[in-house]
Amino acid sequence: AAGVIQSPRHLIKEKRETATLKCYPIPRHDTVYWYQQGPGQDPQFLISFYEKMQSDKGSIPDRFSAQQFSDYHSELNMSSLELGDSALYFCASSSTGGGNSYEQYFGPGTRLTVT
Amino acid sequence: SQKIEQNSEALNIQEGKTATLTCNYTNYSPAYLQWYRQDPGRGPVFLLLIRENEKEKRKERLKVTFDTTLKQSLFHITASQPADSATYLCALSYSSASKIIFGSGTRLSIRP
């Protein structure tokens, strides 16, 4: 079965640079979520989109922005990168139809290293 | 704000035994409580979901209970195997298509 696809899988950037992470949800999933997981930490919710509109917002820095496109893929844009932004970034998707909208399916993650 | 505590950072048990992991939360009960498995460097994998009006849910060797009075969920793996070794995350969600709030996880090790 198709899973959530994230690209790139690894990214190395320098401080103050910009990064763009991409997420392709499972086909027919209409909701996308972004999470950040630091070393030894649990995943922290950043932002989510339902039908291309922002549906919920968590602890996402103002330096970050995200959007969901007409094909349902999503991009997380991160500017003025800081050392503390080094983490695993997960995208998850879910479908609001069929009664399983609470189950989120996670991608393999993008490991961002800021030097 | 909601706080989720999982009983221990690490749990070590003998193969074949039942592993029991605990998840406690504060404040108001979620509509749904979920358990995920996470292996190092990988994304969480959904295992089971239980609704606030359900007491117990089973799936193969897995069993989840949910007690809204105690504000607690128990996650059991019966006939544990070394392949079950991973970090298990308890997670709460309050509405459809909303964020998941994760606990800090319990690292389970099953020794042969």
Q: Which residue has the higher pLDDT, A8 or B52?
A: A8
What pLDDT score was predicted for residue B29? Answer: 78
Minimal Cβ distance to A56: which of B32, B89, B99: B99
CB-nearest to B96 from A41, A96, A111 is: A96
Residues 22-81, chain B, touching A (beta carbon < 8 A): 31-32, 34, 36, 41-46, 49
pLDDT tens, position by position, A53-68: 998 899 899 999 999 9
The two three-digit tokens of residue A38, written as one number: 């630091």
Question: What's residue B105's pLDDT?
Answer: 93
> In the prediction, which pLDDT does B28 show?
76
Tens digit of pLDDT per residue, chain B (112 long)?
778 888 777 899 999 999 999 999 987 778 789 999 999 999 999 999 998 889 999 999 999 999 989 999 999 999 999 999 999 999 998 876 678 899 989 999 999 9
- pLDDT above 70 (res A12): yes
Tokens linked to B100: 């998941």
Residue A97 scores a pLDDT above 70: no
Minimum mean pLDDT range among A7-16, A97-106, B79-88: A97-106
pLDDT-wise least confident of A9-18, A47-56, A94-103 = A94-103
Tell me, what's the pLDDT at A101?
A: 62
Pick the residue from chain A with its C-alpha nearest to B32.
A102
Q: pLDDT digit string (tens) for A67-92? A: 999 999 999 999 999 999 999 999 99
Q: Is the pLDDT of residue A98 over 60?
A: no
pLDDT in tens, A19-55: 999 999 999 898 999 999 999 899 999 999 998 999 8
B49-58, Cβ contacts within 8 angstroms, sequence gap of 24 or more: B49/A102, B49/A103
> In whole angstroms, what separates CA B22 from the centre of its chain?
7
User: Which residues on B lie below 8 Å from A89 (Cβ)?
Assistant: none
Predicted confidence at residue B109, as pLDDT, reads 96
Say if residues A89 and A57 touch (Cβ distance below 8 Å). Answer: no
CA angle (B46 as vertex; B97, B23 as ends), nearest 5: 90
A45 with B101: Cβ contact below 8 A = yes
> Quick check: bond before A8 cis, omega within 30?
yes
Residues 6+ apart with CB under 8 A from A38: A44, A86, A87, A88
List the single residue in A43, A102, A107 with the smallest CB-CB distance to B96.
Answer: A102
